[in-house]
Amino acid sequence: MKLFADGAERGEMLRMYRNPLIRGFTTNPTLMRKAGITGYEAFARDVLTAIPDRPISLEVFSDEFGEMEQQALKIASWGDNVYVKIPVTNTRGESSSPLLRCLSKKNVKLNVTALLTVEQVDEVTEAMATCPSGYVSVFAGRIADTGRDPVPVMRQAVEILSSTPRLELIWASPRELFNVFQADQVGCHVITATNDILKKLELVGKDLSAYSLETVKMFRDDAMKAGFEL
């Protein structure tokens, strides 16, 4: 399974680029806005120049499918490692499948995003049948946020994509490092993770007794630094 870094801060993206464990990058308009980015194309081209040899997913932002197509073709022209992110629907709930078929026939590499149901995976996979290379991003973390176990959904998604070797399943929006192991166990091809989660990789296999003691020391140190008295 491949690890992709999810974010839009240039410095962090370049730091992750130096990490051989990171095999690709994803971003979206929300992350870009949080990072203070105002020039979409300038940011994207800068990052693509700095990271020319790993897949980078960049998202369209129009709500009209005609404009989405124009944006997708423009974004795709920026580099061979570009995957264009298309939301599974627009904000009116209208399916993006016709657009996915169109862009697939035009040899655009795609990353279809914001999927949460098995039915959406079925529909998107069929629509991307002729895509030269693509990702199907199921937001497992958001499924878990609703009190549902995402693992059965992801397991079914793996089975659906098994007949389309050019497409890979992404476990998107993980909430904790353990999701990396869950994604690997069900056979996901990729998991995206923010820098906060990726930084926890160094904790894998850590002795729990030692970790407990570090936690106790942290509480003690913070109490002393705060100057608490009773």
What is the separation of C-alpha 34 from the centre of its chain, rounded to a whole number of angstroms? 16
Q: Quick: pLDDT tens for 79-105.
A: 999 999 999 999 999 999 999 999 999
Average pLDDT, the chain: 97
Model confidence at 167, pLDDT cuts 50, 70, 90, reads: very high
Residue 73 neighbours by CB under 8 Å, 6+ apart: 103, 106, 108
Model confidence at 195: pLDDT above 90:
no
pLDDT greater than 90 at residue 159:
yes
* Domains along the chain with CATH numbers: 2-203 (3.20.20.70)
Q: Position of tokens 């890979």? A: 168
DSSP code string of 163-224:
T-TTEEEEE-S--STHHHHHHHHHT-SEEEE-HHHHGGGGGTT--HHHHHHHHHHHHHHHHH
- CA–CA distance, 171 with 121 (Å, rounded to integer): 12
* Whole-angstrom distance, CA of residue 52 vs CA of residue 50: 6
Quote the percentage of the chain above a pLDDT of 90: 97
pLDDT in tens, 27-46: 999 999 999 999 999 999 99
Q: Cα 123–163–3 angle (5° rounding)?
A: 85
- Contact present, 140 and 183 (Cβ < 8 Å): yes
pTM of the model: 0.94
Question: Average pLDDT, stretch 210-220?
Answer: 97
